[in-house]
Amino acid sequence: MNFNLLLENLTNPALLFFVLGIIAVCLKSDLEIPPNSSKFISLYLLFAIGFKGGQELSHEAFTSEIALSMLFGIGISVFIPVYAFFILRRKMSVYDSGAIAAAYGSVSAVTFVTAVSYLEAQQLSLHGHMVAIMALMESPAIIAGLILITVFDKAEPAGINKRSVIQHSLTNGSVLLILGSLVIGLLANAKQAEGIRPFTNDLFKGFLAIFLLDMGVVSGKKLKSFYSFGWFPFVFSTVIPLINGCVFAVLSSFVTKDISNRFIFAVLAASASYIAVPAAMKITVPKANPGLYLPMALAVTFLVNITIGMPLYFFIVQAF
């Protein structure tokens, strides 16, 4: 285990701002982010992730392996929410199950950055198309979560038109923004992208910190809901990511033989989104409890991945 890497990530400002939000609630402070500002930041983060992914993809020479890798990544982000949803439904509401399933099918940008640092420590480099794959894996998981919620929501009429459900999911503002930003980033040349780079790149970590501060405040107010579910959220957010990471560390060998790419696939499969999915769910599924899916993804799964997960996944991709 790399304790320097662990310490570096535990002192990451974004993570600490999330903790600050929880502390503010515990101290009964009046600290809060205005709702309109919070919504703007959520939309900004989706836009920035999508655009940067499109830019990375535009710099790659497109090959059959890259195309297969993209399909594999999308397949991961659809498969995980589906099977996770039915596990979660045994203990949780349809809204919470869908939101958590989407979070675990999607990816964590901060965990991704940590994985890149881990690769560099192993004297390996990241291939640019994996950044685009990370961005591509956000939307399918959100769509899958929304479809599952809509189909299994008993409050809705029994005869659900699945075509309209899929159409609504694809045209949902959050999904449309990240997909549209990805396409725009792909079409824009380097000179054109440079003009908005300070907005998409330089400001990202600052907005992320404010977003997580807001999420910390929201989560702090609903932590009792997290504790009220007892052992189940802790076990799920610890065991499921490790299973996902190990399984896809092996399965990725059928897509690519590159150790770096396989390791990244394992990390993406094991990570849980606490940026794109919470931003989308905050807007589209307000009945879902962020006091569940945020602490699970950020306080448990993130720490499991950077301590136990990454060394385990790297060992597996080398051994198999």
Banded pLDDT at 167 (limits 50, 70, 90): low
11 closest CA partner among 308, 306, 279: 306
* Angle formed by the axes of helices 259-270 and 129-136, nearest 10°: 20
| 124: number of Cβ within 10 Å | 15
CATH number, residue 256: 1.20.1530.20
Q: What CA–CA distance (Å, rounded) separates 59 from 189?
A: 9
DSSP per residue, 129-162: HHHHHHHHTHHHHHHHHHHHHHHH-TTS-SS--H
In the chain, how many domains are there? 1
Q: Per residue in 51-66, pLDDT tens?
A: 888 888 888 788 899 9
What digits encode the pLDDT tens for the residues 174-230? 778 888 888 899 899 888 888 888 888 888 888 888 988 887 888 778 777 677 788
Q: Is residue 152 part of a domain?
A: yes
Q: For 296-314, how does the pLDDT look when each residue is reduced to its tens digit (9 = 90+)?
A: 987 788 878 887 898 899 9
pLDDT at residue 158 tops 50: no
pLDDT at 298: 79
Give the pLDDT of residue 159.
47
Tell me the DSSP string of 180-247: HHHHHHHHS-HHHHHTTHIIIIITHHHHHHHHHHHHHHHHHHTHHHHHHTTHHHHHHHHHHHHHHHHH
Q: Nearest Cα to 89, choosing from 239, 236, 272?
A: 236
79 in a domain, yes or no?
Answer: yes
Give pLDDT, residue 260.
Answer: 94
Q: What is the dihedral of CA 241, 285, 219, 45, to 10 degrees?
A: 80
pLDDT in tens, 262-293: 999 999 999 999 877 887 887 788 888 888 88
Domain range spanning residue 115?
34-319
**288 closest CA partner among 248, 297, 247, 302:** 297
Q: Report the predicted TM-score, pTM, of the whole model to 2 decimal places.
A: 0.79
Q: Is position 11 within any domain?
A: no
Alpha-carbon span 123 to 107, nearest angstrom = 24
What is the band of 43 on the pLDDT scale with cuts at 50, 70, 90?
confident
Q: How many CB atoms lie within 10 A of CB 292?
A: 27
Of 243, 254, 236, 259, the closest CA to residue 115 belongs to 259
Residue 171, both tokens: 């045209």
**Residue 212 to residue 193: CA distance in whole angstroms:** 27
**pLDDT band with cut points at 50, 70 and 90 for residue 46:** confident
118 assigned to some structural domain? yes
- Cβ atoms of 175 and 142 closer than 8 Å: yes
Asked whether residue 9 is assigned to any structural domain, the reply reads no
- Percent of the chain having pLDDT more than 70? 91
In a domain, 29, yes or no: no
Which tokens is 234 given? 């802790």
Cβ–Cβ < 8 Å for 111, 138: no
Q: CA 102 to CA 165: how far, in whole Å? A: 16
155 φ/ψ angles, rounded to the nearest 5 degrees: -75, -20
**Confidence label for 1 from pLDDT (cuts 50, 70 and 90):** very low
> Does residue 221 lie in a domain region?
yes
Residue 4 lies in a domain: no
